[in-house]
Structure 1
């Protein structure tokens, strides 16, 4: 039987936890976050300076990100869909509550939301507040952990170019290196 979703890659004390909206069917089939061939996550990651090596979408790369670079992965909603339009309010409500529980006590250096939608839905349903709409470091935190928001690298989010995605992730990488 094929897997129903992507497993969380989470542990206490990570450098960074990436939070996506929800997995795509391609990612679930490959068991790799951001596995769709047109997703710009991997080129963005490679060019941003967040890690010091070039990786491609594979289970080995996921292990390398987790073990060597201390980057964890999860999603707001664990139910895979082909697009955001297939998600419902109930998915966001349940997902935000479950994400809050998954993140509690992990104490990474930062939590990185990939897109305004997962961040805004998390805040709405788990914290009862709203986002201010800016990219980058947020005024709100989760259990005292700083939160960063960058545009989602999905091919459906064509409003943001690869150079802009790289620039935004490079700001997070610099912030992490400076120990802010």
Structure 2
């Protein structure tokens, strides 16, 4: 196998995987991505709190849990000379990398090449579909040649990408918590986790793992009759057309039985804990309520 001029920096448990276009001669010589003078990746990443040391890929990997890869391995001073075929082939390799290492999220640092390689209709921001099964964020190029985009804007994009990663990680932990504490043998899709049947009291029947989950697909896989419970980790879903009430910042939980009106009760996590405490009841630590 041909050795990459700038090796991938990946490991298990990544908070964020950064994907560029290809290494520049400066990056290949320095052994770290985005090393070309004028590139604003590191200033933006530092300002956003994504990394804690400047131009140090090993520190980013081991201390900040931020990894690095590129669509194309070959060194090229002018990224515009990377062919469309190279980008599309590289996207397949990056997707394989993502599925293997499962970062909390992946951030692509060049919108134009992403449009060529993955989705020609993409716009900057969180993407509607996962990439390699993980949430994806696309931002404008950090190259100094992209002068139309300010450092402040790039910093905001980096911050949003990190928030997406942290929220996705918490969503996965919520689903794992439910599975472990509730003894539920749930099933995992790219965008949601769901139980094959109704779960016990205080446990959701489904947990969203991506901000743009396909609601119809998810509801088709769970018992969505009266009393069903869904934890929307991203607080963006509106399930009301499907028979759910949108309550408590999109965190739904049902009680095990109906009230005197024949209705199921719904609680926000804090209110539920207060009611349990008042009644002398306690359940396992409610990590399900942790909001990213």
TM-score (norm 1): 0.84
Once residues 88 and 117 of structure 1 are traced to their aligned partners in structure 2, the CA distance between those partners, rounded to angstroms, is 12
Query: What is the root-mean-square deviation in Å for CA atoms of aligned residues?
Result: 1.9
Match of residue 154 from structure 1: 143
TM-score (norm 2): 0.53
Gaps of 5+ in 1: 124-129
Match of residue 27 from structure 2: 27
Once residues 176 and 161 of structure 1 are traced to their aligned partners in structure 2, the CA distance between those partners, rounded to angstroms, is 23
Match of residue 119 from structure 1: 114
Task: Give the counterpart of 1:135 among 124, 132, 139.
Answer: 124
Once residues 49 and 13 of structure 2 are traced to their aligned partners in structure 1, the CA distance between those partners, rounded to angstroms, is 21
Match of residue 133 from structure 2: 144
Q: Would you say the 8 A contact 2:106–2:134 is kept in 1?
A: yes
Question: How far apart are 1:131 and its partner, in Å?
Answer: 4.3
**May I ask how many residue pairs the two structures share in their alignment?**
167
Question: How far apart are 1:5 and its partner, in Å?
Answer: 1.6
Once residues 45 and 15 of structure 2 are traced to their aligned partners in structure 1, the CA distance between those partners, rounded to angstroms, is 15
Q: Larger Cα Rg: Structure 1 or Structure 2?
A: 2
Gaps of 5+ in 2: 171-233, 235-292
Secondary structure of the residue aligned to 1:38 is coil
For residues 98-148 of structure 1, the C-alpha deviation after alignment (integer angstroms, 9 at most, x for no partner) is: 22222222111101000113322331xxxxxx2433211100112321000
Task: Give the counterpart of 1:70 among 65, 74, 91.
Answer: 65
Task: Give the counterpart of 1:169 among 130, 142, 158.
Answer: 158
Match of residue 96 from structure 1: 91
Task: Give the counterpart of 1:105 among 97, 100, 107.
Answer: 100
